[in-house]
Structure 1
């Protein structure tokens, strides 16, 4: 990973407030499955539950030692080496932060954890997330029709997958 691509490290309890603040920002929250504002107690309970699960990786993304984003990786099938991810950036993160967060996450998933496949989802109206996944090399694997109900409307969900072999082939093509 390039020196300026940033780093991921485990989220600490002392950082919960800043991550909750990002998560509750209207421009982040509107693309989440759960769109209510998360309270401090609810957030801490979520963190404590996740800490008990060895297949959950709650990671803070830092660029030049500044917190810029959050990544949640859940290994959903250990035998198949398959995980799902979710992420968001600080609303104030500079341009290019998402790309760097994405590459740092792929490095972590495929090299550090040694997984075979990473899956992601985006609400179909979240065109930025869809383009982001595609730029990282994910394949659009599904469109789940009316899969999410936000309390007022049903929304399609786009499912993505990226295999370690796809990632390796893509990295090899860049080196050539």
Structure 2
């Protein structure tokens, strides 16, 4: 089955919030508080009205967000942890391939980066599998506690 990335629509807004607020997603995010409906609505409005930001729905079980306002552009993603159950790893692999193909295909990017907590070794390993490499580490306060963040990056040469 070919993975599908489609532009998010207004009807996806609340579903994306429920995925983002899942405790397992929040635990590995750079913002760990429960996001209110109002906070999410403001973010959604700003993001969906900015042509340099792309919110894409993956197979109706995840979201990929590309931010082209930065150099290099960055990306993030999360999945419907609860809905996928035992199929989470398979979905992760398919989502990452679809995201990389989209970034270096339709979006026309030559570089793509992203940040993740150093403790999130599974995602770092997943990114490595798809040609991303660690380019730097830095400290960032997460809930008032210093945490190490890893920036991974990939170019079209991979």
The TM-score normalised by the length of structure 2 is 0.92
Given that residues 103 and 112 in structure 2 are in contact (C-alpha distance below 8 angstroms), is that contact kept between their aligned partners in structure 1?
A: yes
Partner in structure 2 of residue 161 of structure 1: 153
Of the three residues 12, 15, 18, the one matched with 1:21 is 18
The TM-score normalised by the length of structure 1 is 0.83
Given that residues 32 and 143 in structure 2 are in contact (C-alpha distance below 8 angstroms), is that contact kept between their aligned partners in structure 1?
A: no
Given that residues 5 and 103 in structure 1 are in contact (C-alpha distance below 8 angstroms), is that contact kept between their aligned partners in structure 2?
A: no
Partner in structure 1 of residue 124 of structure 2: 130
Distance of 1:71 and 1:88 partners within structure 2: 7
Partner in structure 2 of residue 70 of structure 1: 63
In the alignment of these two chains, the number of paired residues is 154
Matches for 1:18-167 after TM superposition, within 5 Å: 18-62=15-59, 67-77=60-70, 82-91=72-81, 92-93=83-84, 94=87, 95-144=89-138, 147-166=139-158
Return 5+ residue gaps in structure 2 as ranges.
none
Stretches of 4+ moved more than 3 A in 1? none
- The RMSD of aligned alpha carbons is 1.3
Structure number with greater Rg is 1
